[in-house]
């Protein structure tokens, strides 16, 4: 069983399944997120990570299963892909205060944490890819939500920025006490800064503490042995059997 | 078999019905509630036009969808059109045509007020543009007689076997129209000095025939709103002449007239229906139409 | 002069107050032709009202609200863009209206009246109506401004961060529909839609935030109304077209100045 | 019956051949209201033609082409969306047309004729004109199809990979403008724009590729014409609205079936 | 001077400058790209990498300087950001053959090289972020252009995919003989698979072979010393002087 901490449970997903146009995208996903926890979802492209996140925060309705959210849970979300139409004059400050209010000072401070405080009055449509990503991250921080949900936050962020970003996420948890759910492909860094890793490939292949997960055969099948230092093997509880080729491919049934 | 005659609008259809009595019954193309300006044709209307031996209409200024059809299709029918944008087409028989007027009508002698005498001059200056003849000619019973004569002549030419019927019908119709004319003269005799304003100038033939005293129209083309100065000049003139009656038309919103009325404490708004939209098509329609016109005028003006 | 023009000035300025900010959303949400659609559906509304013996205003309000809700439902799928949806609804309801009309004698409609209805003919009861729309519409718009803006930027983001997107969208659509339905009876569709989209478009080149765009659009709309009406008095031109032309002048100036600035830099 | 209706059937079917694929691009490029804009600018064209003693068709063609080029120029900046630009041009040219008209009395324009023009009154010279448009327009459209599609997906990508984006876009805009300008004289704007946007919208739910969408849209358009004309004959209803209503039926069916399928899955 | 190889020169940029709305984005960039060469542009977010690429391939007009391209040069481009409207029904195969023709077999083969051949008939709007990126890459390969221009090709691609991708790029150069210009933040991998590194921060801070560049003080200033193994120092030829803080900051003048 995933180690549910003693903290209060913010969100609990039970037997989630998602099928779009007859195509199964998620199957039998069970998940619990508690306050102050950093959960990282890893998995190959097309594994359903973004879909899972959207289902958890209520953008996408699951076709099976149920999701319990703590009443009046506030969510900060940073989508994987976002494009803002040119017809809308929108500067960075206004984007950051879109759904919540914040003073200019607070906004600058949040931007400073992601290294882009000089962009505060720039038009969002003119930002470079990495600048936009940093702004969106600062925006998510600013809201001080109960859960911060980040879909590939480091995508397009430069080398230094990426390192700083994961340090920042660590810090945030202690400062704000919020839970952080993120998707990332950067296994090096993820492994170092995560409480719970969920390895997804349509269903949850394995989950648990980073050290244990990295030893799991399905994990090494997906990501190679490079990330298998040495520690206890965590066994997940599926009611079906796995052969080795199972989770590595794209078609798991 | 008898002649197939199709007539575009109901007042003309009524006159032609008279002419065809005992010989044929003309069909009416635009029903009374269909605006000849903007309605698209239905298949039955197309059939009517295509089947007709004689097609009688006013012209493309009025029946626009019919105009497109006549222009496009090679029709077998004889087309009776008394005038086009260049003037009379040779059927005249005494048809009197009027030019479209500016918003503030040039006044008849004697009713003139000095300050708007330039209007008359304007009307002459624009006198020879295209599309400047007012097509609502049938509102003058004498024009109706001219029209009937022209149509009868065509009918006799096309269907000589019924020459006698046509001649007799025409004779009777002329008598009836003259009686109608006289009656309306009597009814409107007391209205000659009473000034009024109309929504759009679709009605000057009636006005001219009975020497009524319309002083202006809010719009020249119902699709084209007036300028504020025009409106203000109309209001001034209305005050000047102590207008007591404003005429709206059932198919158009009376909103401008309401504005003018709000500046003229004693003015009423009356309704005139130049197309007879509520009347049953048939021989009597024309007579009902003009009677109704004069009745609504005297009701409002008295 | 003022005597004749002041109702027009007041009505035009009041309507501009709502047209500026509401129109900005129409521009952002690619719904510039909402007004046109409402006008065309108005024909259907009138026809039905006459057939079923309703009040005409009720008929128009009902049909336009229904179309707004239909638009809401159809926008859920993302494969047909907003302008095409509006086009389908506009042409569809116009065609339906004409068909119903063809089978029901004795209904006369003044479509051109709806299209070109005129500020000059505004009366005091119209002024009251405009005042009522403004006092209801403006606070309502201000209330939904922030969440609606968030939805406009990105619907998923807004939903995730706790906004009831469906509610806000429905309120917005109904607000626009009713505003346009009422305003078009008074000032005509040409003017109300032009006031809703041209000033925001002109403001786009100047504004740095959505709020600025709303405010600048309102200012441009009010200026267009005043200058347009003065011009129309000066040259005895129809008022509505004069105002629209004035707004176009602002738009052209805004484009030209922006281009010139870029050239200089 | 056929004897009476065949010009309408032929003209409608021929126009559908171009309306399907051309309309698909209008939907993709968010220009559903191009036809409406052309119709409104038509008024200006007619007015100018009468004033300057030109042939009316020349006047319309000139103004619509100029508007197409203006649209091209204005689309270079990306801050005003296509539908708003069309709205500005449409209302602007209509207002201008009305102003010019106001100062030149005695010009009669038939705006409603342009809007509701009549398929039933199509004659042989019209058929020739339609045939000419098709024989020029269809091959031209097929020639620019691929590069235009690339531009529609992403203009930067198309440019980088060697497409002369400006040329293709100008050709496309002129092609649509001239097609609509001619077709609207013959069948009216209501019908031509409806045939251009409703069938592609219906086809969107079925098609997997752009080419399929163009072809399916054409089929739906042709079916709408045939069924609409038969229906109009059956019930003696106005033809144009009947065809539009038929196309709407196809659209509704397409939406309904798609939704039902998703529910079942 | 940048080492121009003996291969034919495909593209040569001279004194390129780019200023948008009074804001200077590129300054005095000189660059030569020869056939068969792999050029990687690195630099912090907002450095102007994407702008430089767009200028080189003619999407963006430079405000100063001139660009010479070999006549009838064919370019394969993969932009950093691309979103395709939902109104356009577009499957992967059709997207790949947008500007050039290719048989279905060839398309499948290209997709197979990026590991997503099973997506060939999927609608592009439904692809996951990484799937789309892989498809775009396959699309760029399929065209067999003279220059392949890739703006952050590995963005959003999963861990295994990223490793394979850089191997693939190496292979392509030898197979197709085309030049490859790419932007990347993944310094580890870039360093291993590049002929020429251009370190950009508005202007070219340093450029040359990876080993030499990674030793350059401005490079270490930008990216930390981690990437400075040991080799010759390459000195670039600016006509202005640098102090240490120069290239690391965002405002260089
Ligand atoms: N159209 C524009 N108007 C104004 N500024 C712009 C425009 N486009 C880009 N910029 C600015 O130019 C700078 C360079 O942008 P560019 O996209 O080239 O950066 P980049 O090096 O690709 O960054 P990243 O690594 O984040 O993708 C950024 O600061 C950006 O904000
Ligand atoms: N609306 C949709 N219709 C059909 N299939 C979809 C839809 N959305 C996503 N998919 C498919 O579902 C699968 C999971 O997508 P998702 O975006 O969740 O993947 P992901 O794990 O986030 O991948 P990546 O790492 O590439 O971002 C993919 O194969 C994708 O093609
Ligand atoms: Mg994803
Ligand atoms: Mg970039
Ligand atoms: Zn498993």
Confidence of residue C194 (pLDDT cuts 50, 70, 90): very high
Lowest mean pLDDT among B115-124, C181-190, E12-21, E179-188: B115-124
| Subunit contact B227:C229, Cβ cutoff 8 A | no
What pLDDT sits at residue A144?
A: 85
pLDDT in tens, chain E (253 residues): 344 445 689 999 999 999 988 889 999 999 999 998 999 999 999 999 999 999 999 999 999 999 999 998 999 999 998 999 999 999 999 999 999 899 999 999 999 999 999 999 999 999 999 999 999 999 988 888 999 999 999 898 988 888 888 888 888 888 888 899 999 988 777 777 788 999 999 999 888 887 777 777 777 776 665 544 322 233 333 443 333 333 444 443 3
Lowest mean pLDDT among B259-273, C127-141, D210-224: B259-273
- Higher-scoring residue by pLDDT: A212, E70: E70
Q: Is residue B238 pLDDT above 70, yes or no?
A: yes
The residues lining ligand 1, judged by C-beta closer than 6 Å to any ligand atom, are: A 126-131, 156, 158; E 20-21, 23, 25, 43, 45-51, 80
What pLDDT sits at residue C178?
A: 87
* Closest CB from C84, C111, C194 relative to D27: C84
- Higher-scoring residue by pLDDT: D121, E239: D121
Provide mean pLDDT across the span D79-105: 88
Please state whether beta strands E23-34 and E9-20 pair in parallel, antiparallel, or not at all (unpaired).
Answer: antiparallel
Q: Is residue C6 pLDDT above 70, yes or no?
A: yes
- Higher-scoring residue by pLDDT: E209, A130: A130
Provide mean pLDDT across the span D179-202: 89
What pLDDT sits at residue D135?
A: 94
Q: Give the separation between CA E143 and CA C64, rounded to whole angstroms.
A: 51
Q: What is the residue-averaged pLDDT of chain E? A: 82
Summarised one tens digit per residue, pLDDT across range A10-50 is 999 999 999 988 889 999 999 999 998 999 999 999 999 99
Q: Is residue B110 pLDDT above 70, yes or no?
A: no
What are the backbone dihedrals phi and psi of residue C253, each rounded to the nearest 5 degrees, phi first?
-60, -45
Decide if the complex's ipTM is over 0.95.
Answer: no
Provide mean pLDDT across the span A225-247: 38
Chain A contact for E161 (CB, 8 A cutoff): yes
Confidence of residue A191 (pLDDT cuts 50, 70, 90): confident
| Subunit contact A80:E131, Cβ cutoff 8 A | no
Confidence of residue A54 (pLDDT cuts 50, 70, 90): very high
What pLDDT sits at residue C42?
A: 82
Confidence of residue D58 (pLDDT cuts 50, 70, 90): confident
What pLDDT sits at residue E234?
A: 31
Q: Which residues contact C53 (CB under 8 A, 6 or more apart)?
A: none
Q: What is the residue-averaged pLDDT of chain D? A: 89
pLDDT over 90 percentage in chain D: 58
Residues with CB under 5 A from ligand 4 (ion): A 128-129; E 49-50, 80
Chain A contact for E157 (CB, 8 A cutoff): yes
pTM: 0.90
Q: Which atom of ligand 2 is nearest to the CA of E128?
A: 17
Exposure letters B20-33 (e unless 16+ CB within 10 A, then b) = beebbebbbbbbbb
Q: Is residue D172 pLDDT above 90, yes or no?
A: yes
Confidence of residue D120 (pLDDT cuts 50, 70, 90): confident
The residue nearest atom 12 of ligand 1, judged by CA position, is E25
Q: Which of E 128-147 lie inside 8 A of D, CB atoms? A: 143, 145
Instruction: Give chain D as a 3 state SS string.
Output: CHHHHHHHHHHHHHHHHHHHHHHHHHHHCCCCCHHHHHHHHHHHHHHHHHHHCCCHHHHHHHHHHHHHHHHHHHHCCCCCCHHHHHHHHHHHHHHHHHHHHHHCCCCCCCHHHHHHCCHHHCCHHHHHHHHHHHHHHHHHHHHHHHHHHHHHHCHHHHHHCCCCHHHHHHHHHHHHHHHHHHHHHHHCHHHHHHHHHHHHHHHHCCCCCHHHHHHHHHHHHHHHHHHHHHHHHHHCCCHHHHHHHHHHHHHHHHHHHHHHHHHHC
What pLDDT sits at residue A236?
A: 38
**Mutation site, D118, D125, D229, D242, interface B, largest B CB count within 10 A:** D118
Q: Is residue B120 pLDDT above 60, yes or no?
A: no
Provide mean pLDDT across the span B182-200: 89
Chain B contact for D125 (CB, 8 A cutoff): yes
Q: D79 contacts in C (CB within 8 Å)?
A: 204-205
Summarised one tens digit per residue, pLDDT across range A133-163 is 999 999 988 888 999 999 999 898 988 888 8
Summarised one tens digit per residue, pLDDT across range D137-158 is 999 999 999 999 999 999 999 9
**Mutation site, C30, C76, C77, C81, interface E, largest E CB count within 10 A:** C81
Q: What is the residue-averaged pLDDT of chain C? A: 89
Chain C contact for E83 (CB, 8 A cutoff): no
- C249 CA to chain A: closest CA distance, Å? 20
What pLDDT sits at residue E246?
A: 39
Ligand closest in space to the Cα of A131: 1
Span from the CA of A53 to the centroid of ligand 2 (angstroms): 11
- Chain D residues bordering chain A (beta-carbon distance below 8 Å): 78-81, 84, 262, 265
Q: Is residue B131 pLDDT above 60, yes or no?
A: no
Provide mean pLDDT across the span D99-124: 72
Q: Give the separation between CA D150 and CA D208, rounded to whole angstroms.
A: 16
Q: D77 contacts in E (CB within 8 Å)?
A: none
What pLDDT sits at residue A215?
A: 73
Return contacts of C75-82, CB within 8 angstroms, 24+ apart.
Answer: C75/C169, C77/D255, C77/D258, C78/E86, C79/D204, C79/D205, C79/E86, C79/E87, C79/E89, C80/D27, C80/D201, C80/D204, C80/E87, C81/C30, C81/D27, C81/D30, C81/D32, C81/E85, C81/E86, C81/E87, C82/C29, C82/C30, C82/C31, C82/D83
What pLDDT sits at residue A162?
A: 84
Of B280, B235, B286, the closest CA to residue B259 belongs to: B235
Q: D262 contacts in A (CB within 8 Å)?
A: 21
The residues lining ligand 2, judged by C-beta closer than 6 Å to any ligand atom, are: A 20-21, 23, 25, 43, 45-51, 80; E 126-131, 156, 158
């Amino acid at each position: 069983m995933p180690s549910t901490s003693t903290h209060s449970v913010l969100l609990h997903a039970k037997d989630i399944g998602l099928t779009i146009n007859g195509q199964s995208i998620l199957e039998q996903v069970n998940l619990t997120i508690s306050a102050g926890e950093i959960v990282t979802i890893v998995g190959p492209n097309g594994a359903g990570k973004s879909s899972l996140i959207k289902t958890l925060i209520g953008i996408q309705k699951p076709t099976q299963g149920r999701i319990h959210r703590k009443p009046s849970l506030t969510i900060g979300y940073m989508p994987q892909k976002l494009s803002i139409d040119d017809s809308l004059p929108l500067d960075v400050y206004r984007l950051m205060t879109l759904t919540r209010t914040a003073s200019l000072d607070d906004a600058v401070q949040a931007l400073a944490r992601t290294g882009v405080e000089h962009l505060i009055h720039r038009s969002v449509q003119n930002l470079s890819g990495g600048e936009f990503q940093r702004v969106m991250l600062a925006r998510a921080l600013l809201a001080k939500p109960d859960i911060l949900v980040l879909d590939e936050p480091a995508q397009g962020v430069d080398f230094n920025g990426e390192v700083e970003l994961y340090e920042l996420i660590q810090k945030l948890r202690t400062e704000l006490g919020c839970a952080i759910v993120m998707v990332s492909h950067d296994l090096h860094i993820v492994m170092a800064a995560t409480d719970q890793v969920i390895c997804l490939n349509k269903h949850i292949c394995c989950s648990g503490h980073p050290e244990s997960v990295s030893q799991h055969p399905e994990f090494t099948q997906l990501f190679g042995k490079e990330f298998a230092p040495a520690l206890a093997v965590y066994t997940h509880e599926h009611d079906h059997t796995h052969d080795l080729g199972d989770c590595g491919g794209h078609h798991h049934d | 078999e008898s002649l197939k005659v199709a007539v575009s609008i109901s007042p003309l259809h009524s006159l032609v019905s008279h002419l065809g009595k005992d010989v044929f019954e003309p069909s009416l193309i635009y029903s009374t509630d269909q605006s000849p300006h903007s309605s698209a044709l239905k298949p039955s209307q197309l059939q009517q036009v295509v089947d007709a031996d004689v097609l009688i209409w006013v012209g493309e200024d009025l029946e626009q969808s019919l105009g497109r059809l006549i222009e496009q299709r090679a029709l077998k029918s004889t087309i009776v059109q008394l005038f086009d944008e260049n003037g009379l087409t040779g059927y005249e028989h005494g048809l009197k045509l009027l030019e479209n007027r500016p918003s503030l009508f040039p006044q008849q002698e004697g009713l003139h007020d000095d300050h708007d005498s330039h209007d008359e001059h304007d009307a002459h200056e624009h006198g020879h543009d295209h599309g400047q003849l007012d097509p609502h000619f049938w509102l003058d019973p004498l024009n109706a007689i001219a029209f009937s004569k022209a149509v009868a002549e065509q009918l006799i030419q096309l269907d000589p076997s019924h020459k006698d019927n046509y001649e007799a019908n025409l004779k009777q119709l002329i008598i009836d129209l003259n009686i109608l004319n006289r009656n309306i003269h009597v009814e409107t005799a007391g209205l000659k000095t009473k000034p009024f304003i109309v929504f759009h100038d679709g009605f000057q033939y009636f006005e001219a025939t009975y020497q009524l005293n319309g002083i202006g129209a809010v719009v020249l083309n119902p699709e084209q709103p007036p300028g504020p100065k025009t409106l203000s000049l109309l209001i001034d003139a209305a005050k000047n002449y102590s207008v007591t009656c404003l005429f709206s038309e059932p198919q158009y919103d009376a909103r401008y007239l309401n504005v003018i009325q709000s500046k003229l404490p004693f003015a009423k708004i009356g309704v005139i229906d130049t197309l007879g939209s509520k009347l049953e098509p048939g021989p009597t329609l024309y007579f009902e139409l003009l009677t109704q016109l004069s009745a609504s005028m005297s009701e409002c003006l008295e | 002069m003022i005597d004749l023009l002041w109702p027009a000035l007041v009505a035009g300025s009041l309507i501009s107050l709502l047209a500026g900010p509401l129109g900005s959303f129409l521009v952002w949400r690619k719904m510039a032709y909402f007004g046109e659609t409402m006008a065309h559906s108005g024909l259907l509304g009138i026809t039905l009202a006459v057939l079923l013996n309703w009040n005409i205003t009720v008929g128009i309000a009902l049909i336009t609200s229904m179309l707004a809700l239909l638009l809401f439902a159809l926008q859920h799928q993302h494969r047909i863009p907003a302008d095409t949806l509006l086009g389908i609804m506009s042409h569809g309801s116009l065609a339906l209206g004409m068909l119903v009309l063809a089978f029901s004698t004795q209904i006369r409609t003044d479509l051109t009246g709806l299209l070109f209805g005129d500020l000059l003919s505004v009366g005091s009861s119209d002024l009251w109506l405009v005042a009522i729309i403004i006092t209801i519409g403006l606070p309502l718009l201000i209330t939904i401004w922030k969440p609606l803006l968030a939805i406009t930027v990105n619907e998923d983001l807004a939903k995730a961060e706790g906004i009831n997107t469906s509610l806000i969208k429905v309120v917005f659509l109904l607000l626009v529909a009713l505003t346009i339905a009422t305003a078009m009876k008074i000032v005509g569709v040409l003017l109300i839609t032009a006031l809703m989209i041209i000033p925001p478009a002109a403001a786009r080149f100047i504004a740095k935030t959505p709020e600025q765009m709303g405010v600048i659009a309102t200012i441009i709309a009010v200026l267009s109304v005043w200058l347009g009406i003065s011009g129309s008095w000066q040259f005895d031109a129809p008022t509505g077209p004069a105002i629209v032309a004035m707004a176009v002048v602002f738009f052209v100036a805004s484009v030209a100045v922006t281009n010139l600035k870029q050239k200089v830099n």
